[in-house]
Amino acid sequence: MTKKIAVLPGDGIGPEIVAEALKVLDCLKAEFGLQWETEPALIGGAAYDATGTPFPAETLALTQQADSILLGAVGGTKWESLDYSVRPERGLLGLRSELELFANLRPAILYPQLVAASTLKPEVVSGLDIMILRELTGGIYFGKPRGRRINEQGEREGFNTLVYSESEIRRIAHIGFQIARKRNQRLCSVDKANVLECTELWREVVIEVGQEYPDVTLSHMYVDNAAMQLVRNPKQFDVMLTDNLFGDILSDCAAMLSGSIGMLPSASLDKHGKGLYEPIHGSAPDIAGRGIANPIATILSLAMMLRYSFDDEINARRVEQAVIAALDAGYRTADIDCEGARKVGTAQMGDAIVAALRASH
């Protein structure tokens, strides 16, 4: 059966990196018989410029009826002065929330070819393979009340609410334990239970859910310590379970362990496994349009789509192997460049990966 993929390039480098993932997709169709059709839609600043909203109704409708979604990036300096309600980021947050994509998987893997690209010492990061599982539709990102007001002293005041219901914690915890089960059976839940009641509940509920998974070793860590441990000894982790905000921060930190933020893919899944796939990095307005962005995180996101939404481990691995082959051949975009490498731009990196994929047939 033909699968329908909604393609949302978004802003900044988004269209450039998505174009490379689509080349990979075309190759999978031509060489390995994948039956996928794609349909583009607007999101973020591009959607705001064209329609006055960062999340048009047509985009919501398409993503609801598509089997899966591939997204580039949203945001940019151009839209920073807009009201919050129409900022490009609202498009992405709206999509996550409307489709209930609560489980965000952010694997941080250091490919051996990129050990030198990491800012950390080789012995600290080589062989790194951790999974950050971030809750994506709750917490302080969506909690109410939120806003800005003038307080009784006549001062401006800003406020947000960190709130999680038991059921929200429970469902993400289950996913965490299930992922850990398929990996090295270790789950570290990150919280700030010494200060925040909401995360004290988080810890309590995670412990309760853990009773159903006696084969998984559960540990807990305060978020400040977790940030430190990620750069001190990241290989101690297997799966890290975090709330929305902590996961946002820790996954950027973990990205640097893998050489560059341009390397990290992500999957955001609903309870049926339908997903949105996007690189974890932003729209990088400073390098947009220059053809130098790293497309690997987006291409690896496509591999995650194959694995998690379509249960196609064989083709997921093919794509990942093609990325490794391109790295082995010495191709490097600017963010992962090193001495003696073949420095290439976005399109050449995409072509090198496609060539490796084709050669693997």
Q: Report if residue 248 touches ligand IPM, rule: CB under 6 A.
A: yes
Closer residue to ligand IPM in complex, CB, 177/246: 246
Q: What does DSSP say about strands 239-242 and 265-269: parallel, antiparallel, or unpaired? A: unpaired
Nearest one of 179, 156, 234, 241 to 207, comparing CA atoms: 241
Question: Is 163:143 a contact under the CB 8 Å cutoff?
Answer: yes
In the bound state with ligand IPM, the residue whose beta carbon lies nearer, of 23 and 265, is 265
Whether the bond between 145 and the residue before it is cis, its omega within 30 degrees of 0, is yes
- Residue closest to Mg ion when measured from CB atoms: 248
Nearer to Mg ion by Cβ, of 213 and 246: the residue is 246
Is 224 marked active-site?
yes
Query: Where in 265-304 is the site for ligand IPM (CB under 6 A)?
Result: 280, 282
Residue 34 or 253 having the CB closest to Mg ion: 253
Q: Please answer whether residues 114 and 220 qualify as being in contact, where contact means their C-beta atoms are separated by less than 8 angstroms.
A: no
CA–CA gap between residue 330 and residue 324 (Å, rounded): 10
Short-list 97, 93, 169, 89, CA closest to 133: 169
Q: 215 catalytic, yes or no?
A: no
Q: Helices then strands (H, E): number in the chain?
A: 12, 14
Q: Nearer Cβ to ligand IPM, position 75 or 176?
A: 75
Interface contacts to Mg ion, rule CB under 5 A: 248
Mask of contacts with ligand IPM, 80-109, x by CB under 6 A?
---------x--xx----------------
The one of ligand IPM, Mg ion, none whose footprint includes residue 92, by CB under 5 to 8 A per kind, is: ligand IPM
Alpha-helical (H) ranges within the chain are 14-32, 44-51, 57-65, 88-98, 122-125, 166-182, 197-210, 223-232, 244-257, 296-308, 313-328, 346-359
Q: With CB under 6 A as the rule, give the number of residues binding ligand IPM.
A: 8
Per annotation, catalytic residue among 111, 141, 213, 331: 141
Closest Cα partner for 250 from 283, 274, 221? 221
Specify the DSSP class assigned to residue 127: T
The site string for ligand IPM over 165-184 (x = CB under 6 A, - otherwise) reads: --------------------
State the residue number with the nearest CB to ligand IPM: 89
Marked catalytic residue, from 11, 191, 243, 248: 248
Q: Is 109 helix (H, G, I), strand (E, B) or coil?
A: strand
For this structure, is 243 an active site residue?
no
List the catalytic residue out of 111, 192, 238, 335. Answer: 192
Which residues are known catalytic residues?
Answer: 141, 192, 224, 248, 252
Query: Under the rule (CB under 6 A), what is the footprint of ligand IPM?
Result: 74-75, 89, 92-93, 248, 280, 282
